[in-house]
Amino acid sequence: MRIKSLIFFCILSFISLSAGAEYMGLKPSKISEFTVYSKGDHVKVTWKTKSRKDIVAFEIERSRDGKNFEVLKKISDEGINPSSMEFFEVDNNPLPGWSYYRIKQDFSNGDYAYSQIAPIFFGMDRLRKGEVIVAKNPNDPGTTKVNLSKFNQEKVLMVARDTQGIEYYIHETLFVKGNKLSVKSTPLVPQGFYTITASSIDELLGLELIAE
């Protein structure tokens, strides 16, 4: 069952990676959806605007700790088209492990706004078998170490995005083998690789999931 994550985030009160009413900066954010997900040896960054009016540039920012950000790429925008638009960019040199992305919007009058922060774990396949994952929530400075094996054979509620950017609602038993997270594929969830964008278990956010 394919469904937009924004709907489920509102209904299920998930922690959303899509930018909503909250914002940082001098003006409200005009970004309505913002997602990052890994694909092969790179990370894809996508976002959609409610309006592009008065926006002169977007800046993709990346952080190791969710607090100190650096500009990864700046995309100019004419700022005169009021229509919404979807953007796709690629980070070809992602940081291994946990990292955090956000989008800064620069306005023609000098004001700016930020999207919410999107966490992602890159390179899970490069970890040693049984290695502990350090889950860092940018909204919770009290970081703890988590062993994913405790979630083995637990039924989990998730929204997962495939490599084409399509999101699926999944309520299945999770299997953990070493650093591999998997669920059984179904007619509604085809075989393939996914990135978990929302979950009833916060520690799973941003991790790779395989439907087998």
pLDDT tens digit at each of 212 positions of the chain: 433 333 333 333 223 333 333 345 567 888 888 888 877 788 989 998 888 888 899 999 999 888 899 999 999 886 566 677 889 999 999 987 778 899 999 998 889 999 988 888 777 555 444 444 444 454 454 445 567 788 899 888 888 888 777 778 888 899 988 778 899 998 888 999 888 877 777 778 778 889 99
Q: Where in the chain is the domain with CATH 2.60.40.10?
A: 5-121
| Residues contacting 83, CB < 8 A, separation 6+ | 51, 52
On whether the 5-121 domain is CATH 2.60.40.10, my answer is yes
Q: What does the H/E/C string look like for 5-43? A: HHHHHHHHCCCCCCCCCCCEECCCCCEEEEEEEEECCEE
Reading the block at residue 92, the tokens are 């070809």
Give which of 74, 114, 69, 73 is closest to 93, Cα–Cα.
Answer: 73
Supply the pTM of this predicted model: 0.56
Query: Of how many residues is the chain composed?
Result: 212
The single residue listed with the structure tokens 């075989």 is 191
- Residue percentage of the chain with pLDDT more than 90: 19
pLDDT at 82: 62
User: Is 2 exposed, middle or buried (CB count within 10 Å of its CB: 0-12, 13-18, 19+)?
Assistant: exposed
Instruction: Specify whether the CB–CB gap between 116 and 104 falls below 8 A.
Output: no
Cα distance between residue 61 and residue 107, in whole Å: 16
- Half-sphere exposure for 134 (CA within 13 Å, toward CB): 11
